[in-house]
Structure 1
Amino acid sequence: MTSGTADTLLLNSIFSAALERKATDVHLMAGNYPVFRLNDKLYAFTDAKILTVDTINTLVEGWLTEAERARLVSDKEVRAAYVWANRARFRATIFYQQGYPAISLRMIPAELPTAKELQIPDILVSATAHRQGLIFICGPFNSGRTTTVASLLQHINTNRSKRIISLERPIEYILVNSASMINQREIGKDTPSFIQGLRDIIDDDVDVVAISELQEEGIQEAVLELAESGKLVIAVLNATSTISALESFLASIAKERRPWAKDVIGELMHIMVAQRLVPAVGGGRVLACEILLRSAAVTSIIQEDKFGQLHSVLQTSREEGMIGLDYRLSELVRAGKVSGEVAKKFALDPTNIRG
């Protein structure tokens, strides 16, 4: 049996078992058994053999394009979509640890769940009806941000006649035209960078733009300019809370342009959501969202750089639809959907959790 055939058979056994056991993640690292994440716990798949460096290297070589391999060498980490035997689609993160490549794979559901199935707050879904403005989806890695954005785009696609463009790295969910027209552009394949992709869009006939990350220098200003041009922009931010997201976003903008940025956010931001996927009682996961809306109080606080006061706004503006993450987690505990112990692990301040 050739090495390539042996690696293929090994991979087939790993992914078959992952699908059968409904794993959400698969981790492959040399010197270890494959590891599955099931219901937020890690389990070694000891039915397979211990992985070798050669096996991991073979997988990396076979999965990545030449450009992606070059980026792995320069950046030491790369994300790509991987389709296994037309049976499953994964978001693959390939990185180095102890000098050798390792692979983490997140299972992408075969069918995109609806906003209702994901329990996305109605107020967030309703925000997609605006013709122009800003919608921010925040959270740490693996908090479900990509799925939330894809579900919002599909909601627009199903219910409105719009031209939608997404800039993604990688493309995880494949969306098909319905009432709308969707173009999904992958960074590195369809456009060289997020910045270039936004520049190409700003004067184009586009209604809705989704951006999967805001890591490139200058992209924050480009996002605001895009919203100013009359488009609805849905952007993903890597932040634990809405407050830290706002602070970080504005801090990334040149000081002399910050007053302009505050004006744009104060005028065009409809909603900012910080989310978590929390292990539920009895298995599965439940979505918990912090929700910050544009209001006169929020706009004033942003203008005056008094971001700490937003904690009070989140606590006192629930009738308007705002809610803090810890309060929402406490609601889930009281409803019996999440245990108090688990809620505290996901809270911004565990002492805020009340059963």
Structure 2
Amino acid sequence: MRVDDILKKGTLKGASDIHIKVGSKPFFRINGEMIRDDEDEPLSEADFNEFLSNEKVDDFLVEKFKKERQVDIGYGLSGVGRFRVNMLYQRGTPAAIFRFIPFDIPDLDSLNLPKVIETIALKPRGLVLVTGVTGSGKSTTLASMVDIINKKRKKNIITIEDPIEYLHKDINSSIIQRQVGYDVLTFADGLRGALREDPDVILVGEMRDRETISTALEAVETGHLVMSTLHTKDATETINRIIAAFPLNEQRQVRLQLSATIEAVISQRLLKRKDGNGMVPAVEIMIASELVRDAILDAEKIHNIKRSIEINREIYGTQSFDQSLMELYKNGLVSFEEAKEYSSNPNDFALKVRGIG
């Protein structure tokens, strides 16, 4: 099948994302850049329809796509891997973006992620958030954390995803994976249902709205470990975004809930490796110290979150983006220009590199 051939070709070239649209040649995102495959021919509507009629694409989701004009699905390709697929219409013709997901769940070392994330994953209860822009590796980090729990704990893990990305097999834990729009109507519905399904750990693919956030906080308060994602740049913005999702008369209560339940915020940004061989994450890690919990309670003290992250590196294993970037630069993984561009304060970062604190 033509689309499968494009997917195989893209993954062999190391593409993280593969873009197809009727009437155009495929594009591959390689090392963060969009590269057109000029060796290939434009995709025809017959090629796309052949993909839709594939037995691996559920008829229910095809009908939803034609009715709603866009849909997220999971798609597996034997010998290659899985793909998270967003199908859409543009200029009246179909298109799709395929995000590559390997069959094997990568571990923290292969992802170049700090070891403290394993400690966070094994917490018995609390709220753990992984944040960053689209394509920053949030889903992969969460999958790695679920895999750690699966291998080291005997738990009941329930995931609510849109769509299901990594496929988990039961090892020491039981894992139930539910897809929004297929196994359950919404994230909030899935969360409410999970509370009646004897959970120890609940993974919510994304906290998209106030209802989902509120239900997640309630789930944490009843003694569960809840992990989820937000499209925020760092820990401080994450806290502010959650609180701002609620009306003013409810924000005090949300601050109390969040202060009592938050355990960690992991924020990621992907940078180009200096050797040109793929991408590497810069990672900010916030762990809920007393200083952090106090800062959540009082809006005037919110700046203390960043301070807690920077000063508690030796005690808790926390790190700011600039501390992470400095380590990547010193280890030769990223160039000075790349690290400076992604730093919180480029001028301060340049001074620190020169040894001026």
Q: Given that residues 167 and 194 in structure 1 are in contact (C-alpha distance below 8 angstroms), is that contact kept between their aligned partners in structure 2? A: yes
- Corresponding residue number in structure 2 for 1:287: 281
Aligned partner of residue 7 in structure 2, secondary structure: helix
Distance 1:216 1:83 in 2: 29
Q: Among residues 296, 304, 317, which one is paired with 1:302 in the alignment?
A: 296
- Corresponding residue number in structure 2 for 1:105: 98
Question: Which amino acid is 1:226 matched to?
Answer: A
- Corresponding residue number in structure 2 for 1:44: 36
State the TM-score, normalizing by the size of structure 1: 0.89
CA offset digits 1:24-57 (Å, max 9, x no partner): 2211123321111222332221222012455445
Distance 1:61 1:350 in 2: 50
Q: Please list every run of 5 or more consecutive structure 2 residues that lacks an aligned counterpart in the other structure.
A: none
Q: Given that residues 132 and 232 in structure 1 are in contact (C-alpha distance below 8 angstroms), is that contact kept between their aligned partners in structure 2? A: yes
* Residue 319 of structure 1 pairs with residue 311 of structure 2: no
Distance 1:349 1:53 in 2: 48
Aligned partner of residue 299 in structure 2, secondary structure: coil
CA offset digits 1:216-263 (Å, max 9, x no partner): 441111000000111111111111111111111111134333222222
Distance 2:64 2:306 in 1: 40
- Corresponding residue number in structure 2 for 1:184: 177
* Residue 342 of structure 1 pairs with residue 335 of structure 2: no
Distance 1:158 1:234 in 2: 17
Question: Which amino acid is 1:257 matched to?
Answer: E
Aligned partner of residue 333 in structure 1, secondary structure: helix
* Residue 29 of structure 1 pairs with residue 21 of structure 2: yes
CA RMSD of aligned residues (A): 2.3
Aligned partner of residue 322 in structure 1, secondary structure: coil
Aligned partner of residue 112 in structure 1, secondary structure: coil
User: How far off its partner does 1:61 sit?
Assistant: 6.2
Distance 1:21 1:270 in 2: 39
- Corresponding residue number in structure 2 for 1:207: 200
Question: Which amino acid is 2:18 matched to?
Answer: V
Q: Given that residues 11 and 80 in structure 2 are in contact (C-alpha distance below 8 angstroms), is that contact kept between their aligned partners in structure 1? A: no
Question: Which amino acid is 1:244 matched to?
Answer: E
Question: Which amino acid is 1:15 matched to?
Answer: L
Q: Given that residues 272 and 338 in structure 2 are in contact (C-alpha distance below 8 angstroms), is that contact kept between their aligned partners in structure 1? A: yes
Distance 2:163 2:94 in 1: 19
Q: Among residues 146, 149, 159, which one is paired with 1:156 in the alignment?
A: 149
Q: Please list every run of 5 or more consecutive structure 1 residues that lacks an aligned counterpart in the other structure.
A: 1-7
Distance 2:9 2:131 in 1: 32
User: How far off its partner does 1:73 sit?
Assistant: 5.8
Query: Structure 1 residues 317 and 98 mapped into 2: Cα distance closer, same or farther (>3 Å)?
Result: farther
- Corresponding residue number in structure 2 for 1:5: none
User: How far off its partner does 1:171 sit?
Assistant: 0.7
Farther off after superposition, 94-103 or 235-244 = 94-103
Q: Percent identity?
A: 27
- Corresponding residue number in structure 1 for 2:261: 268
User: How far off its partner does 1:72 sit?
Assistant: 4.2
- Corresponding residue number in structure 2 for 1:127: 120
Distance 1:329 1:70 in 2: 46
User: How far off its partner does 1:199 sit?
Assistant: 0.9
